[in-house]
Structure 1
Amino acid sequence: MTADAGTYLYAVAGDSGTPVPEGLTGVAGTPVRAVRASGLVAYVSTVSLDEFGEEPLSRSMEDLDWLDATARAHHHVVEAVAAESPAVPVRLVTVYSGDEQVLALLEERGDDFGEALSRVAGRREWGVKVYAEPDDQAAEPAEQGGGAATGPGAAYLKRRQAGLRSREEAWRRAAARAERVHDVLASIAVASRRHRAQDPQLSGRKEWMVLNGAYLVDDDRAEEFARAVDDLRAQGGELELTGPWAPYSFATLDEGVAP
């Protein structure tokens, strides 16, 4: 490997001797290859440090088009690996100076990877988002009679206060529903996590996101999980089910893997 090249790491799996899927390419169109040690296999690419070095990355991470393309390529490799065997996905743009560092990682943290792989074996991650429509009608109630007696300013303040109370009540109802949804789904999953709700600019929706949950589900309970989502959706409100995915939320190591 040349001095101007680095090793990009996608995921780590148990080494069963399975070859890298033929023709698999990753970020920047680079071919994916395997680095093996300690009964583990790391799926990597050789990348140019002109693009993936520290300084270029600090600029590229501000480029949403570049970030989207890189994330899609990274995810494509992780999914291809996870389709063959349990895998620990590595966070986006984890780049090492060379294969020697990756080999050292596998040797030094072999037990940690083994525990993570055992945790996700035979399981996949599902995502569920719950949305609620803001109660715009109640937020601006119609003006009641008697406004002239109290003055237009006082009448406006009353409407404003009533609107705020109504909006808060709508939010409480939506949050309570999200809790019920999460409790039901978590009872089926072997593990669950609640991620931060996405900003409407990222979700592309005007509704409130009141739940952004991730659920690690045994493969033989996947249909049961999907039916539970359908049943909850039928009770009202909007639920969005995504997956199954590689277990990004559950296969990470406690302290990450990047130097």
Structure 2
Amino acid sequence: MEHLIYLYGIIPESRDVAPFKGLDGEKDAYCLHLDGMKAVVCSLDEFEYNEEKLEEKVNNVEWLHEKAFHHHEALDKLNEEGPVIPMKFCTIYQSETSLRATVEPKKQAFIHSLSRLDGKQEWNLKIYCDDEKWEEAFAHHNSIIEEKKAEIENLSPGKQFFAKKKLDQWMKEEMDKEKDRLCYAIHDTLDDLAVESSVKKTWGKDVTGKNEAMNWNSVYLFSKEQVEEVAKHLESWKEKWGDRGWKFEVTGPWPPYHFASLQ
């Protein structure tokens, strides 16, 4: 019976991998020796995982969730033991021969990337802000607002209405500017400590499920030696900005999904 080859990722030639069950939950994953590196793979039954059957499986939300988690968990364990170049979920080849034909010509790029990733960790930072708390804190710490409010009190009722609207608009613009300034300042500090970084798209509340708006989303590749210093900065920011409505969500270390490019 023919078997397809499912590829989890590429690791250094010198690495060994603790055994684990493959995607089908039956056959063990194993290392395929390539030219100067190893591919962590598992075999899949061609009848059960051909293109048509796979499309059916992927459309099953329960199957998709279970197997995507399996893929991530496998890469997470590989990442704990050393550098790995992670592959996308459901990277499948018709045979070991077709895998070799695709991967081995890129040998030097793979080996260079593995060397670059050795001793590094990927971390994600998302910054959220409670706008009500932020507005209260912003107004409290801004003397100009108090001065403008005092000026408005001396106006006639008709002029007060338009002056308040103008002040509210000015406050919103200034609050947004300060949000951006704070997020970029934090990013610049972390970027100076990182080997590489990437700013990602922020998500809406419908995606995050949170009451606070996401104002920043970025990923960083840190050397393991820098992680402790990064943690100190984050604790400092939480202490300074936490009571003003800011929340810092840090997750990691992750497999280097964003930094394993062969370019």
Are residues 1:54 and 2:46 paired?
no
Q: 2:232 aligns with which of 227, 236, 244?
A: 227
**Superposed displacement of residue 84, structure 1:** 2.0
* Matched residue SS, 2:257: coil
Q: Which residue of 2 aligns with 1:251?
A: 260
> Per-residue CA shift, 1:14-53, capped at 9, x if unaligned?
11152x313x124342521111111111011122455644
Aligned residues of 1:131 and 1:210 also touching (Cα < 8 A): yes
**Superposed displacement of residue 238, structure 1:** 0.9
Q: TM-score, normalised by structure 1?
A: 0.80
Q: Distance in 1 between matches of 2:115 and 2:44?
A: 30
**Superposed displacement of residue 215, structure 1:** 0.8
**Superposed displacement of residue 247, structure 1:** 1.4
**Amino acid in structure 2 at the alignment position of 1:245:** W
Are residues 1:183 and 2:191 paired?
no
Are residues 1:29 and 2:38 paired?
no
**Superposed displacement of residue 177, structure 1:** 1.4
Q: Which residue of 1 aligns with 2:251?
A: 242
Q: Distance in 2 between matches of 1:234 and 1:136?
A: 15
Are residues 1:196 and 2:204 paired?
no
Total equivalences in the alignment: 243
Mean Cα displacement is larger for which, 164-173 or 211-220?
164-173
* Matched residue SS, 2:184: helix
CA RMSD, 1 decimal: 3.1
**Where in structure 2 are the equivalents of 1:1-259 lying within 5 Å?**
2=2, 5-16=3-14, 18=16, 20-22=17-19, 24-30=20-26, 31-49=28-46, 52-135=49-132, 166-236=171-241, 237-254=246-263
Q: What stretches of structure 2 of length at least 5 have no aligned partner? A: 136-152
**Amino acid in structure 2 at the alignment position of 1:238:** K
* Matched residue SS, 2:131: coil
Q: Distance in 1 between matches of 2:80 and 2:117?
A: 13
**Superposed displacement of residue 88, structure 1:** 0.6
In our comparison, the structure showing a higher alpha carbon Rg is 2
Identity value in percent = 26
**Superposed displacement of residue 75, structure 1:** 1.0
Q: Distance in 1 between matches of 2:22 and 2:181?
A: 42
Aligned residues of 1:134 and 1:170 also touching (Cα < 8 A): no
Q: What stretches of structure 1 of length at least 5 have no aligned partner? A: 139-143, 255-259
Q: Distance in 1 between matches of 2:204 and 2:106?
A: 36
**Superposed displacement of residue 62, structure 1:** 4.6
> Per-residue CA shift, 1:115-166, capped at 9, x if unaligned?
111111111111111111234997xxxxx9988x69xxxx7x9988876655
- Judging changes above 3 Å, is the alpha-carbon distance between structure 1 residues 211 and 137 closer, same or farther for their aligned structure 2 residues? closer
